[in-house]
Amino acid sequence: MGRIFYNSLRGAWALVKKDLVDELRTRYAITTMGLFALTTLVMVSFSTGIFSLDAGLHAAFLWIIIFFSAMSALARSFIKEEEKGTAAALRLSAPPEIIFTGKLLYNVLLLLGLVVVVLPLYLFLMNLPPGANYALVILLLFSGTACLAGATTILAAMISRAGAKNSLLPVIAFPVLLPVLLTAIRGTSIALAGGKAGGVSAELTFLLSYLLIIVTASLLLFPFVWED
């Protein structure tokens, strides 16, 4: 049993490495996400940077930037397989659960990278109110983006099998992700206003449970989407 689990993890990790290498070679998703984030950030900062906004607005801007940058890149992980013609080979190489886990981990890493870039830039360009609890902000950003990745992985797979139109992902994903966005924005605004860990415990519990449930459901349903 342990050996099977270990091999599954190795399989998923191999897929993550393959995607990372591919991504570093073409740099498609990284540049799309980065430029989108930068454009939105510059627009926000240019128009509202001089005002001192309250924590709720900052949280909303931050999540708008992260959400739309994420949407522009997350569909890519499956659609590029279809476009390059490697999907069939991928289907043969590993069972669906491993494919899903690998793609999920890759998406999570991608979004982690996005947060690592966006948050410092945001702090740099906008004047945040003093006394923000940055540890909690980072924790909320990471949990929220993990939920984003968790939900969109299977949706991206569905779109790639359904005509491979990138622009479909935000439409499909929005209703599924709305609870995550609402909770994450609220939690981030509490954290930016200087809240303690107890103040955001409800939001963090929500995000964690959402992540677990959606990943479980996706794992169960992925074989239907992936196999012909």
Partner 1 sequence: MIAIVLKILLAAWMVMVTVAAFIYAPPALGLGDLARIIFFHVPLAWVSVLAYLVSMVHSIRYLRNGLMIEDHKAALNAEIGLIFTVLATVTGSIFARYTWGMFWNWDPRESSIFILLLIYCAYFVLRSAVEDETRRARMASVFSIIAFISVPFLVFIIPRVYATLHPDPIISVEAGFQMDAKMFRVFIASLLGFTGLYAWLANIASRLSALIGGMEGEKDV
| Residues that bind partner 1 in the complex, under the rule CB under 8 A | 151, 154-155, 158-159, 161-163, 165, 168, 171-172, 174-179, 182-183, 186, 202, 206, 210, 213-214, 217-218, 221, 224-225
Shortest gap between Cβ of 206 and partner 1 (angstroms)?
A: 7
Amino acid at 70: A
Burial class (CB within 10 angstroms; exposed 0-12, middle 13-18, buried 19+) of 118: buried
Shortest gap between Cβ of 155 and partner 1 (angstroms)?
A: 7
Shortest gap between Cβ of 228 and partner 1 (angstroms)?
A: 9
Cβ-based nearer residue to partner 1, 42 or 182: 182
Are residues 157 and 218 in contact, defined by beta-carbon separation less than 8 angstroms? no
CA–CA dist 220, 78 (Å, integer): 18
Cβ-based nearer residue to partner 1, 44 or 158: 158
Residue 171 neighbours by CB distance under 10 Å:
11
Per-residue exposure over 207-218, b if at least 16 CB sit within 10 Å of its own CB, e if not: beebbeebbeeb
Shortest gap between Cβ of 120 and partner 1 (angstroms)?
A: 30
Cβ-based nearer residue to partner 1, 43 or 213: 213
Cβ-based nearer residue to partner 1, 108 or 158: 158
* Sequence-distant (≥ 6) Cβ neighbours of residue 154 within 8 angstroms: 100, 218, 221, 222, 225
